[in-house]
Amino acid sequence: MIYYLYELLQDSDIPGIGMLQYLSFRSAGAVILSLFITMAFGKKLIRYLQRKQIGEEIRDLGLEGQLQKKGTPTMGGIIILLSIIIPTLLFAKIHNIYIIIMLVTTTWLGLIGFIDDYIKVFLKNKKGLAGKFKILGQVSLGIMVAATIYFSDEILVREKVRDAKGDPKMETVITSQAGDQTQEFVTEDVKSTRTTIPFFKLNEFDYKWLVSFAGEKAEYWRWAIYALAIILIITFVSNAANLTDGLDGLATGTSAISGATLGVLAYVSGNVIYAEYLNIMYLPNIGELTIFIAAFIGATVGFLWYNSYPAQVFMGDTGSLALGGILAVFSVIIRKEILIPLLCGIFMLENFSVIIQVFWFKLTRIRYGEGRRVFLMSPIHHHYQKKGIPEAKIVTRFWIVGIVLAVVTVLTLKVR
Indicate if the pLDDT at residue 43 is higher than 50: yes
Helix (H, G, I), strand (E, B) or coil at 117: helix
pLDDT of residue 169: 43
Sheet (strand 181-190) strand order: 157-163, 181-190, 173-178
> Distance (Å, rounded) from C-alpha 373 to C-alpha 358?
8
Nearest 5°: CA angle at 186, between 183 and 188?
140
Q: What is the largest CA-CA distance in the chain?
A: 81
> What share of the chain in percent tops pLDDT 70?
88
pLDDT in tens, 314-330: 999 999 999 999 999 99
Using DSSP's 3-state secondary structure scheme, residue 142 falls into helix
Using CA atoms, how far apart are residues 205 and 335, in angstroms rounded to an integer?
10
* Angle between helix 289-307 and helix 250-269 axes, rounded to 10 deg: 160
Task: Return d(Cα 26, Cα 361) in angstroms, integer.
Answer: 51
Q: In this structure, which amino acid lies at residue 364?
A: T
C-alpha to C-alpha distance for 262 and 122, rounded to whole angstroms: 36
CA distance 334 to 90: 22
The DSSP bridge partners found for residue 395 are none
CA gap 175, 191 in Å, rounded = 22
N- to C-terminal Cα separation, the chain: 40
What residues contact residue 326 under an 8 Å CB cut-off, 6+ apart? 84, 102, 105, 106, 109, 259, 296
H-only helix segments in 279-390: 289-307, 316-333, 340-343, 345-368, 380-386
Q: Are 74 and 313 in contact (CB under 8 A)?
A: yes
Question: CA 98 to CA 169: how far, in whole Å?
Answer: 32
Question: Could you tell me the pLDDT band of residue 58, with boundaries at 50, 70 and 90?
Answer: low
Give me the pLDDT at residue 22, please: 85
By three-state DSSP, how is residue 5 classified? Answer: helix
Radius of gyration of the chain from its Cα atoms, rounded to whole angstroms: 23
pLDDT for 203 beyond 90: no
Q: What angle do CA 98, 161, 416 make, to 5 degrees?
A: 75
The angle subtended at Cα 86 by Cα 1 and Cα 30, nearest 5°, is 75
Phi and psi angles of residue 73, each rounded to the nearest 5 degrees, phi first: -55, 140
Decide: 281 and 335 in contact? Cβ < 8 Å: yes
The answer to whether residue 7 scores a pLDDT higher than 70 is no
DSSP 73: B
Q: 149 CB contacts (<8 Å, ≥6 apart)? A: 101, 155, 226, 230, 332, 333
pLDDT at 276: 86
Query: Distance (Å, rounded) from C-alpha 268 to C-alpha 216?
Result: 36
pLDDT for the residue numbered 181: 52
- The Cα–Cα gap between 404 and 345 comes to 10
**Per-residue pLDDT tens over the stretch 109-119:** 999 999 999 99
Helix axes 316-333, 131-151, angle to 10 degrees: 30
Query: In the chain, what are the domain boundaries?
Result: 21-156+191-339
Least confident stretch, 199-213, 242-256, 357-371, 400-414: 199-213
- The pLDDT mean for the chain works out to 88
pLDDT of residue 162: 55
- Mapping DSSP to helix (H, G, I), strand (E, B) and coil, where does residue 158 land? strand
Tens of pLDDT, residues 251-299: 999 999 999 999 999 999 999 899 888 888 899 999 999 999 999 999 9
